[in-house]
């Protein structure tokens, strides 16, 4: 049986910080080479457990994976690594407010 070539996948994983006073949630998107969507999810689950173990994070039980391109295609500047459609009955401002972490949003871990 011919084995599928590895393709690029992105995987979005979710965490809750346990030791920082605001206990924020974190979303990460990480790239993987895998032969299938299922394998990409397995790799993401393994990597997210390792990432959470480095700090005191709780891994939340959801992985969203997205096939980026075929095995030999280039991944580079401008490559879409993730996309999700939201079927919500919200105005544009309400939608953005729902996903905006506001002035206290984090772009880096606190020292």
* Mean pLDDT (whole number) for 76-95: 84
Taking 90 as the threshold, does the pLDDT of residue 102 lie above it?
no
Instruction: Quote the tokens at residue 100.
Output: 């905006």
**In whole angstroms, how far apart are CA 58 and each of 12, 24, 62, 84?**
15, 11, 12, 23
Give me the domain span that covers residue 29.
Answer: 7-71+81-100
Domain membership of residue 11 (yes or no) is yes
On whether residue 37 sits in a domain, the answer given is: yes
Predicted pLDDT of residue 51: 93
Residue 31 lies in a domain: yes
pLDDT tier, 107 (very low <50, low <70, confident <90, very high otherwise): low
In a domain, 106, yes or no: no
Q: Is residue 111 over pLDDT 50?
A: no
Task: For residue 40, tell me if it sits in a domain.
Answer: yes
* DSSP conformational letter for 6: P
3 state DSSP class of 66: strand
> What does residue 36 show for φ and ψ, rounded to 5 degrees?
-160, 165
The domain total for the chain is 1
108 lies in some domain:
no
Q: Is residue 47 part of a domain?
A: yes
What is the value of pTM for the model shown?
A: 0.74
pLDDT in tens, 35-85: 999 999 999 999 999 999 998 889 999 999 999 987 667 788 888 888 878
């Amino acid at each position: 049986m011919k084995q599928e070539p590895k393709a690029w996948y992105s995987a979005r994983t979710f965490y809750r910080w346990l030791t920082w006073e605001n206990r924020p949630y974190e979303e990460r998107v990480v790239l993987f080479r895998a032969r299938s969507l299922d394998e990409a999810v397995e790799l993401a689950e393994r990597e997210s457990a390792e990432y959470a173990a480095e700090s005191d994070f709780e891994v939340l039980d959801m992985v969203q994976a997205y096939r980026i391109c075929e095995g030999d295609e280039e991944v580079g500047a401008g490559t879409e690594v993730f996309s999700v459609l939201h079927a919500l009955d919200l105005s544009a401002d309400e939608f953005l407010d729902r996903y905006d972490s506001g002035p206290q949003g984090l772009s880096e871990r606190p020292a």
